[in-house]
Amino acid sequence: MTLFALLFAAILPTQKLPFSIDASEDAAAEFPGAPHLQAFSFGQWNGKWVFIGGRTAGYHSVGGGSADFLRADSNQDVWVVDTTSQPARTYRAAVSQLPARLAPVKDQWTSTAQLYFQDGPALYIAGGYGQDRAGNWVTFPLISQVDLPSLIDGVMKNQLSGVSIAFARSPLVQSAGGQLMKLPDGYFYVVMGHLFQGNYGAFEGQGEHNGGAVSQTYLNEIRKLRIVRNVEGLSVTLVDTYKDEAAFHRRDLNVTPILGPGGLGLAAYGGVFTPDTQLSYSHPVYLMGSSPAVDLDFDQKMNAYSCAHLLVYEKATQRMFTTFFGGISRHFWDPAAEKFIENARVGSKTESTYLDGLQWSDQISTIRREMGTGRGQTGEFVHAAPLPAFVGADAVFIPASAIPRSLPDTDILALDDLPKGRVLAGYLYGGIRAFPYGFPYTKTAKPYNAGTVPTKVSDLILRVYLSAVSH
C-alpha cells in the first residue's frame, strides 16, 4: 500500500460509513439497583444479564487512590439483572456462598481483568488478577465454567450451590488483561495479556521493574487450547502456540470476532504498552486461518485500550465494522480540521506537568475492514456524536436481543437486515468514568497530569442507537 493510501485510509470522514452511532441517552433509571462495575466478566441468557468479578472503584493509582487492587474494591457478588421486567429487576448472591470445594473459584470470581467467553449456556472465566484467600496478589492459574441458566436461577433465589460449576488449574490460562475466544474449529484461544504477581504498589515503588516477590510478565503469545468438561471438572491441553515478542506484547487490548466470506475469525486491536515508548499498539492482528497475521498496512489511531465494542457485518459489500466506545486513546479526532491529532506528551512523572500521550476519550470510532478475497484494506472513522462523558474503558456493549445477527450465536449485527433509520442496537454498560480536565471540566480547561485524573466506576447505562443509511 502506498503512503498516500495509508494516509487516506486514516482520515476518511464519517459519511463514508453506512451507519452512524449515537450513545448519548442515559437509561440507568430503567435498571434500578444494577451494579456499578468495571473490568468484569459478562454473560446473558434469555434477557438476563450476569456480572461476575471486576471492581467497584475507578482506575487504580490515580486521583489519590491506592495503587493496589484492594479486595475491598473487588466485586464480591454474582449479579443478575432481569431485563424482561419493566423496569429491570436486580438480584445478587455473595460469592462466599460457594462451597469449600470451590475455594479456588471463590478467589477467581472476585478478581479483575478476567478473560471470559460465553459458549451457548456456558460461561468460561480464565485467569484474572486479585487477592487470594491468603491475601496474596496473584494472576490466577484457573479456568472455571458455569451453566448460566442454573446460575441465574440460583442468584434469583440468593443461592449459589456450585452444582453447575467446574474448574481446572492450569498455567496455560494464567493471564489478566487478555481475552478468551472460541472459534468454529472448536478450540479456545487465550489472546495475550500478562501475568502479574505481587503487590502493584510495591511494583510502582520499584520503578515498575521486576524484583523480589513482584513481577510482570507479558504472555507475548496466543495459545490454542482444547478445553473439555469431564466428570472430574475441566481438562485443558495445549494444541499450539503463536508467539511474537514484539507484536504480541500487549495487555488491556480489544479482542473481537471478525466475519468474512471465509467464515469467523478473531481480531486483536490496540493494547498497551509498547516497550520503547510506553504507548498503545496500532497494528491489528487477525487470525482467520491457520496462524495469526499482523496488519502492518494500517495504524489504529483511536480508542486502543480495552473498551466496549459493537460489531457489524455487511454481507453485500463483505465489510466488517468494529466500533470502539471511548476508553483511552493515543489520538483524538478534530472535526474542524478533519484529521487525527496526537495527544501531547509533556514532561515526566517528577515534573509539575506530565502528560503521557494516552488521554481519556469521549469519542466513538469505527474500523472498517474489507474482508473480500484479495482486498484487506482498512479505514478508521470517528462518529459525529461524542459520548456524554469520558466513559467506555473496561465497559461492555450489550446488544439488544431482537436485533438481527449476521451469524447465529454471535453478537455480530447484520447491517443488511437492519431497517433504515434509527434503531436501538443495545446498551453501553459499566466501565470507568474519568474526569480528565480541571474546572470548568471541558476540553478547553487544563488537563490533569497523567496518573492524577479523578475516576470512578461509571453510573451510566447508555442507550446505543444505530442509524443505517441508504447506499
- Considering only CA atoms, give the Rg of the chain: 21
Taking only the tens place, the pLDDT of each residue in 8-50 is 344 444 458 999 999 999 999 999 999 999 999 999 999 999 9
> Are the C-beta atoms of 41 and 116 separated by less than 8 Å?
yes
> Are the C-beta atoms of 373 and 261 separated by less than 8 Å?
yes
Mean pLDDT of the chain: 94
pLDDT band at 3; cut points 50, 70, 90: very low
319: phi then psi, degrees, rounded to nearest 5:
-120, 140
Average pLDDT, integer, range 392-403: 97
315 three-state secondary structure: coil
Counting residues of the chain whose pLDDT is more than 70, the rounded percentage is: 94
330: phi then psi, degrees, rounded to nearest 5:
-80, -30
Q: What is the dihedral of CA 137, 139, 145, 149, to 10 degrees?
A: 50
**Angle value at C-alpha 110, between 322 and 49, nearest 5 degrees:** 50
279: phi then psi, degrees, rounded to nearest 5:
-120, -170
> Are the C-beta atoms of 216 and 196 separated by less than 8 Å?
yes
Give the torsion sign (CA, 168, 173, 177, 179): negative
71: left (phi over 0), alpha (psi -120 to 50) or beta: alpha
Q: Would the pLDDT of 182 be above 70? A: yes
Taking only the tens place, the pLDDT of each residue in 245-289 is 999 999 999 999 999 999 999 999 999 999 999 999 999 999 998
Percent helix, percent strand, percent coil in the chain, to nearest 5: 10, 45, 45
241-244, Cβ contacts within 8 angstroms, sequence gap of 24 or more: 242/287, 242/291, 242/292, 244/220, 244/292, 244/294
Q: Would the pLDDT of 371 be above 60? A: yes
Q: What is the dihedral of CA 126, 130, 133, 138, to 10 degrees?
A: 80
106 three-state secondary structure: helix
Q: Closest Cα partner for 179 from 192, 166, 164, 168?
A: 192
Cα 415 from Cα 428, distance rounded (Å): 19
Average pLDDT, integer, range 142-168: 97
Cα 95 from Cα 75, distance rounded (Å): 9
pLDDT band at 5; cut points 50, 70, 90: very low
Peptide bond into 273 cis (omega under 30): yes
> Are the C-beta atoms of 130 and 177 separated by less than 8 Å?
no
Distances (CA, A) of 221 to 44, 194, 277, 432: 29, 10, 20, 27
**Grid-cell match 454481507, residue found:** 315
Cα 254 from Cα 361, distance rounded (Å): 15
> Are the C-beta atoms of 21 and 426 separated by less than 8 Å?
no
> Are the C-beta atoms of 221 and 242 separated by less than 8 Å?
yes
- Strand segments, DSSP code E, in 148-187 are 165-169, 179-182
**Grid-cell match 434469555, residue found:** 46
Please give the single-letter amino acid code of residue 55: R
Q: Which of 51 and 207 is assigned the larger pLDDT?
A: 51
Q: Which of 4 and 453 is assigned the larger pLDDT?
A: 453
Taking only the tens place, the pLDDT of each residue in 41-99 is 999 999 999 999 999 998 865 545 556 777 889 999 999 999 999 999 999 999 999 99
pLDDT of residue 65: 54
Distances (CA, A) of 178 to 53, 125, 195, 253, 283: 15, 12, 10, 7, 16
